[in-house]
């Protein structure tokens, strides 16, 4: 088996060459790519393409975005490609390549352009990636060219559900750190708030490939004053909430086999001003630290390639109490998510085997916002679209599209699987609640059909990503 950190592009020559030699190539990318955040700037620049002398392309990834212009505009515009692969991608579409670099990056391309004539006064259109270095445009400007750089695509860091660190560089063993916190659930029952926080931390670690037998926990209590007094007339109730939280810690960690090796207690999180008292909700922040035998097998949450299959792991139930969806609608509810620890452990061990076997392309836990948010995050993290059918989601409860989409039932994951790995994956997951619910698409659209079979969501992933980033996009 050969692991590559490329992004799984079907035209990747490295992957193709390795497969020709008989290698079993597993793609664990550290980067993903998507269209530009502002496609308007690129569209406007392309509309004026015939006013430029040169269209300079330094990456094959920029070609399909640039060719949104349509047929070759002709005129005085000429195309310069940085190297063989980029030039080949341009020619595949019927556009000409007038200058091809010598394979030595920006400097080689500038030399090749200079051989074609004076660059002083030449107008250059440069569609580039968001992280492209300024070496090319600096070199062209130094020779007197007028350069207009526009963003053609964005480079994304592939995010995992947990931090994976390789502390000793002469070993591929890694350390995994993950967290779970669900304060809203304590408005209903502090026991299930605590159970869900523990489960969230554990499943985040499982999602990246942690070894469940090498996992330890840390409990951080963030609590309001639980001591009965004139200032705290409900102290007995808050103390009872604390007792139930500790019962949950014992019950869940015992089944999971995750010892609590440390923790922190903060028990007076209250503020009074005049006759008004403000208290934090009873909250447990649960953290886990664990081991992954080989960091090269760690899995990230982003969809990797078109036509990969989308799976939901775990049953979805009518459990929206304390959910983001109910909060959006000014409600709390009375049915908080509950953790079936024995079923969860069985699922987690099966998933770990599938990850270690290299059968899981991406994996993301379902938490705040439920299945809908997990799917959207998987899509825009990878710059891919998703097509999903809610009729295929294993579900118990009131038959409503919004309940299936936004229920925050614990112990669930969204995973994507390559078609060639489907049979092996399903064999390893046998005996657990697992269902294929859709596929990854290249169109950049998040599309969901509801229980009626009609489309209920059809949105650009760029729009969803902007909404997701907006609260903290200072």
pLDDT (tens digit, 9 = 90+) per residue, 44-97?
Answer: 888 888 889 999 998 888 887 776 656 676 778 899 998 888 888 888 878 899
Length of the chain: 474
> Which of 370, 454, 448, 365 minimizes the C-alpha distance to 404?
370
Q: Report CA-CA distances (Å) from 278 to 226, 281, 283.
A: 14, 10, 15
Number of CB atoms found within 10 A of residue 280's CB: 15
264 exposure class (CB count in 10 Å sphere: 0-12, 13-18, 19+): exposed
Binning the chain into helix, strand and coil, the percentages to the nearest 5 are 35, 25, 40
What tens digit of pLDDT does each residue of 180-227 get?
A: 999 999 999 999 999 999 999 999 999 999 989 999 999 999 999 999
Q: Measured at the alpha carbon of residue 316, what is the angle toward residues 314 and 318, in degrees to the nearest 5? A: 155
Token digits for 332? Answer: 């709390």
Q: Measured at the alpha carbon of residue 297, what is the angle toward residues 32 and 416, in degrees to the nearest 5? A: 55
Q: CA 252 to CA 197: how far, in whole Å?
A: 10
- For residue 29, pLDDT beyond 70: no
> Which of 360, 374, 437 minimizes the C-alpha distance to 410?
374
Residues forming a β-bridge with 260: 217
Three-state SS at 413: strand
**Positive or negative, the Cα torsion across 202, 203, 207, 213?**
positive
Three-state SS at 81: strand
Residues 316/412, Cβ–Cβ less than 8 Å = yes
Number of CB atoms found within 10 A of residue 187's CB: 16
Three-state SS at 231: coil
Residues forming a β-bridge with 414: 312, 364
DSSP string of 34-48?
A: E--S-HHHHHHHHHT
Cα Rg of the chain (Å, integer): 26
What tens digit of pLDDT does each residue of 235-290 get?
A: 999 999 999 999 999 999 999 999 999 988 898 999 999 889 999 999 999 999 99
pLDDT confidence tier of residue 296, bands split at 50, 70 and 90: confident
Q: CA 362 to CA 209: how far, in whole Å?
A: 11
Residue 460 parent element (H or E)? strand 455-460
User: Would the pTM of this model clear 0.85, i.e. be above it?
Assistant: no
Query: Which ranges of 143-189 does DSSP label H, i.e. alpha helix?
Result: none
Q: Would you state the pLDDT for residue 10?
A: 46
For all residues of the chain together, what is the average pLDDT? Answer: 89
Q: Measured at the alpha carbon of residue 178, what is the angle toward residues 175 and 184, in degrees to the nearest 5? A: 170
Token digits for 156? Answer: 């994304």
Query: Which ranges of 261-340 does DSSP label H, i.e. alpha helix?
Result: 324-328
Domains in the chain and their CATH numbers?
Answer: 31-157 (3.40.50.10090), 159-298 (3.30.1330.10), 300-474 (3.90.650.10)
Q: CA 413 to CA 431: how far, in whole Å?
A: 16
């Amino acid at each position: 088996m050969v692991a590559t950190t490329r992004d799984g592009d079907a035209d990747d020559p490295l992957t193709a060459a390795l497969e020709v030699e008989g290698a079993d190539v597993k793609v664990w990318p550290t980067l993903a790519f998507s269209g530009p955040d502002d496609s308007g700037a690129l569209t406007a620049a392309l509309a004026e393409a015939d006013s430029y002398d040169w269209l300079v392309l330094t990456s094959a990834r920029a070609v399909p975005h640039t060719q949104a212009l349509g047929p070759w505009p002709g005129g005085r515009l000429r195309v310069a490609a940085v190297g063989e692969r980029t030039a080949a991608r341009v020619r595949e579409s019927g556009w000409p390549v007038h200058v091809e670099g010598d394979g030595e990056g920006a400097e080689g391309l500038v030399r090749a352009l200079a051989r074609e004539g004076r660059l002083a006064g030449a107008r250059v259109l440069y569609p580039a990636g968001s992280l492209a270095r300024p070496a090319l445009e600096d070199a062209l400007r130094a020779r007197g060219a007028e350069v207009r750089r526009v963003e053609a695509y964005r480079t994304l860091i592939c995010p995992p559900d947990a931090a994976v660190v390789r502390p000793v560089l002469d070993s591929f063993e890694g350390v995994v750190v993950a967290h779970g916190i669900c304060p809203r659930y304590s408005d209903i029952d502090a026991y299930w708030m605590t159970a869900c926080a523990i489960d969230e931390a554990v499943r985040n670690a499982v999602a990246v490939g942690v070894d469940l037998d090498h996992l330890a926990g840390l409990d951080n209590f963030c609590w309001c004053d639980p001591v009965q007094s004139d200032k705290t007339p409900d102290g007995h109730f808050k103390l009872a909430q604390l007792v139930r939280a500790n019962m949950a810690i014992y019950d869940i960690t015992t089944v999971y086999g995750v010892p609590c090796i440390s923790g922190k207690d903060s028990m007076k999180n209250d503020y009074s001003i005049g006759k008004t008292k403000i208290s934090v909700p009873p909250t447990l922040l649960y953290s886990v630290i664990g081991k992954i035998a080989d960091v090269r097998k760690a899995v990230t949450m982003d969809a990797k390639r078109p036509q990969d299959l989308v799976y939901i792991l775990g049953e979805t139930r009518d459990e929206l109490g304390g959910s983001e969806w109910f909060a959006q609608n000014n409600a709390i509810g009375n049915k908080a998510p509950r953790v079936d620890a024995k079923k969860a452990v069985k699922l987690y061990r099966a998933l770990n085997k599938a990850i270690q076997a290299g059968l899981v392309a991406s994996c993301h836990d379902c938490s705040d916002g439920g299945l809908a948010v997990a799917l959207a995050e998987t899509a825009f993290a990878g710059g891919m679209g998703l097509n999903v059918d809610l009729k295929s989601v294993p579900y118990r409860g009131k038959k409503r599209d919004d309940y299936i989409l936004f229920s925050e039932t614990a112990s669930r994951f969204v995973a994507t699987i390559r078609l060639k790995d489907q049979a092996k994956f399903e064999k390893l997951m046998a005996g657990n609640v697992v269902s294929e619910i859709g596929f990854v698409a290249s169109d950049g659209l998040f599309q969901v059909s509801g229980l009626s079979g009609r489309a209920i969501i059809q949105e650009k992933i760029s729009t969803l990503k902007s909404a997701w980033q907006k609260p903290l996009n200072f």
